[in-house]
Amino acid sequence: AYTPGGKAGARPNRACLIYTNLIKKAFKGLPVIIGGIEASLRRISHYDFWTDKIRKPILMDSKADLLVYGMGERAMLEAALRLSAVEEPSAAELKGIAGTAFMGTPEDVDPETKLIKLPAHQEILEKSQNLMAATLALEEQVHFGDSWAIQPVDKRHVVITAPSKFLSTEELDWLYSLPYARLPHPIYKNKGRIPAADMIEFSITSHRGCGGGCSFCSIAMHQGRHIRSRSRKSIMDELKRMQDHPDFRGSVSDIGGPSANMWNANCSLERGKCKRKSCLVPKVCPNFKYDQKANLKLFRDAQKMDGIKHVRVASGVRYDLGQRDKNSLKEIFKEFVGGQLKVAPEHIAPPVLKHMRKPDLPVFESFLEMFSVESKKAGKEQYVIPYLMSAFPGCTDKDMRQLASWLAARGWKPRQVQCFIPTPGTVATAMFYCETDPDGNKIYVAKTDAQRLKQHRILIPDPGRDPRAGRQGGKPGKKKTYNDTRPATESKDKKEGRKGGKKGKKPEHDNSGGKRTGKPRDFNSKKKGKGFQKKKKTK
């Protein structure tokens, strides 16, 4: 999705490690700073799904001098100012910057500073439950925003400073006012379209952060749960600039952030006063202030602008939050859904939803009913496309059959089902590794490929598809991919600028797919090299 023509293999596995080592060789003695989602979520000891092992913090593996975690504008600016102020740039100048991690000692932490002592790397290796303790502690550090953290690793320490201060509305406005080209890097010119770039080419970021705090989502650990929004004027100004793009045809694919409907939301409590893990689950917190009428007005103002034909809300709607103002939500259904609306219930079984930190099923069902009624009133044939997940920690085969029965009763045949993949740093990944919930209660976890495949095929029964995760044929680092990652429906009309009221395409099942070969990997195999088995060649 990130390379011209959608070709695979352009980016090496463990890219952060490889690129850092290459830079270190080419520019000896120059401080190297890593950041972004890959580095950010690996700032402490973490579970690696490819090898089924606990890996050390990425600072140690990469040999980088500084790690910037979260949204890194302030940290990078401070690093640049410090390095430019000295004649000989060195890693010593970078210690202590907010929102960063570095290799240091306990003496690098001011005695007056609030400090979270994380379980040592060796302690996590010896007792799996310590990974859960470390993950929850880091989640708390990010949310409260006032503590440092430290983790012993062998004879060294990873020191993590307190999160950097969020950008204000004025600072976000300035950042997004810069003359971005809305194009891939020039190095990719004339090499084909980049699918991921096409997807966001004419979308607008209205805010950062998400109050949901889903246990499997990296956003809470990276952007945080506190919402920071741009001003209305800043968004309108960007819409004006967008019209100068040679490929713009009048359709704005999205105005939103991690969610579509949290613009200008905020917590009425001071940061660090609330200990909830989610602002929305099990019920929307009364301190989470949100004005969906303002969100609706933003969409309408954007669509009225000269040169704008359509503004779409295609995905990311929090259906629990939206139903707190049903009148505004109804208007969004009527005016800003272009045939399909993607939402993320993920599952319907109560125990699984609890582990995911997702709303209860009745909340989703009432949303579906409202969507159906309002679409008919508007004379529009529209469909909800649900994102679903199999093999989530705590999800049993019985839970998957319950989901399959619920879908069958509605006549839904899903094509977009994700088999859970443990990503570093999340609570769900700690649950996967520890086989317990955050409170230490034992849960079932589908760990082997056979167990995961069994759950996935309850929803996607076609034997031609292979939803396994893991490596192929024993070759290190080569990851098995999923075939079921397309939307549940794909419109034949890919033209921009369709008028509202035209029919959406009804969800249908696709039985295409290649034949699967090879045997499932056994995560529990204790014999070296036996975890992956090649199929014998036939003459």
pLDDT for residue 461: 81
Q: What are the CA-CA distances from residue 122 to residues 52, 153, 524 (Å)?
A: 16, 7, 21
Nearest to 348 by CA among 437, 458, 448: 458
340-539 shares the fold of 167-336: yes
pLDDT of 249 above 70: yes
pLDDT (tens digit per residue) in 274-287 = 889 999 999 999 99
CA dihedral 239, 242, 244, 246 (to 10 degrees): -150
The amino acid that residue 29 corresponds to is G
Partners of residue 311 on adjacent β-strands:
252
Where are the chain's structural domains? 14-160, 167-336, 340-539
- Interval 497-532: pLDDT, tens: 333 444 444 444 333 333 333 344 443 344 444 333
Residue among 377, 268, 273, 275 at smallest CA distance from 333: 377
User: Looking at the predicted structure, is the pLDDT value of residue 6 above 80?
Assistant: yes
pLDDT at 463: 53
The helix or strand, by DSSP H or E, that contains position 18, with its residue range, turns out to be helix 15-26
H or E element at residue 375: helix 361-377
**Residue 378 — pLDDT band, cuts 50, 70, 90?**
very high
Find residue 158's DSSP bridge partners.
103, 151
pLDDT in tens, 459-471: 988 655 444 433 3
Q: Is the pLDDT of residue 45 over 70?
A: yes
What's residue 468's pLDDT? 41
What is the secondary structure of 390-438 as a DSSP string? Answer: ES-TT--HHHHHHHHHHHHHTT---S-EEEP---TT-HHHHHHHHTB-T
- Tell me how far apart the alpha carbons of residues 460 and 484 are, in angstroms, rounded to a whole number: 8
In this model, does residue 368 exceed pLDDT 80? yes
Residue 474: pLDDT band by 50, 70, 90 thresholds?
very low
Q: At what angle do helices 232-242 and 169-176 cross, to 10 degrees?
A: 10
| Helix 361-377 / helix 326-336 crossing angle, nearest 10 deg | 50
What does the pLDDT read at residue 50?
93
Share of the chain above pLDDT 70, in %: 86
Cα–Cα distance between 124 and 204 in angstroms, integer? 41
Centre a 10 Å sphere on the Cβ of residue 229 and count the other Cβ atoms it contains.
23
Nearest Cα to Cα of residue 196 among 485, 488, 389: 485
Q: Going by CATH, does the domain composed of 340-539 fall within 3.30.750.200?
A: yes
Extract the tokens encoding 200.
């966001």
pTM for this predicted structure: 0.84
Mean predicted confidence (pLDDT) in 362-391 = 96
What is the CB neighbour count within 10 angstroms for residue 441? 8
Rounded to whole angstroms, the Cα distance separating 454 from 438 reads: 25
From residue 523, how far is each of 54, 373, 429 by CA, in Å? 14, 47, 15
Q: Please state which CATH class domain 167-336 belongs to.
A: alpha beta
| Interval 58-81 mean pLDDT | 97
